[in-house]
Amino acid sequence: MTKPLLVFDLDGTLAETAPDLVATLNQVLAEIGVAPVTYDSARAMVGGGARLMIERALTHAGVSMPRQKIDQMFDDFLVHYDAHIADSSTLFPGVGAALDRFEAAGWHFAVCTNKITKSSELLLEALGVADRFTAICGKDSFPVSKPDARALLSTIDKAGGTRDRTIMVGDSKTDIETAQNANIPVVAVDFGYTDQHVATYKPNRVISHFDALWDAVADIGAFHPAR
């Protein structure tokens, strides 16, 4: 029988990445003469990928840029960010212990993120957990990205899982809608990057710490090995 699979979002779910993302955002804004965005304002812009973060910051500043300029800012963002991928980024508390517990029970893991794949791999390597995931799939891994269900379904295929034995874990409306579009249960963490509480989007369960993930998954899935 196929192993059950947990598919995680990355930014705001597995890792607190906002400090490095915001620092990079303000670096590329400074290069075009735009004032920095405050940390609290910029943190709410994280979660849809670097390009969307840049577009949100420009809108916030009341600045309009041609597409070519945004493309250049995006390229500059990736160069700077990859060079500072984990200066201040950390795994959220309890991630390692949760992965250990699920792995011991026969689960395997994948990442489905709107972060660029190379950056995702670099970050997970820097945080020491890249080898825990059978697939790390970013915004450029497939022709579509979240919230398109095909991004999640393609990640499941790449990880060697099956839809009926998969649960997603995310922190945002995008993650929850992705799972719902794929008809896959979803656990939402409430400490990530969202402008409204994740309960608004009706995930199957909401948790406030990774220590609660085991019980949340047990409540959702009859295929949980502990049941």
In the beta sheet, which residues pair with residue 109? 6, 133
Question: How far is the first Cα of the chain from the last one, in angstroms, to the nearest whole number?
Answer: 16
Contacting residues for 1 by C-beta, under 8 A, at least 6 apart? none
Place of tokens 């670099």: 122
- Residue tagged active-site, from 9, 20, 171, 175: 9
Let me know the angle formed at the C-alpha of 124 by 118 and 129, rounded to the nearest 5 degrees.
Answer: 145
Helices (H), 108-171: 117-126, 149-159
Contact 112, 7 (CB under 8 A): yes
CA dist., res. 169 & res. 110, Å (int): 10
Contact 129, 148 (CB under 8 A): no
Question: Phi-psi category of 211—alpha, beta or left, where left has phi over 0 and alpha has psi -120 to 50?
Answer: alpha
* 195 included as an active-site residue: no
* Beta strand pairing call for 15-16 and 90-91: antiparallel
Q: Could you give the residue numbers annotated as active site?
A: 9
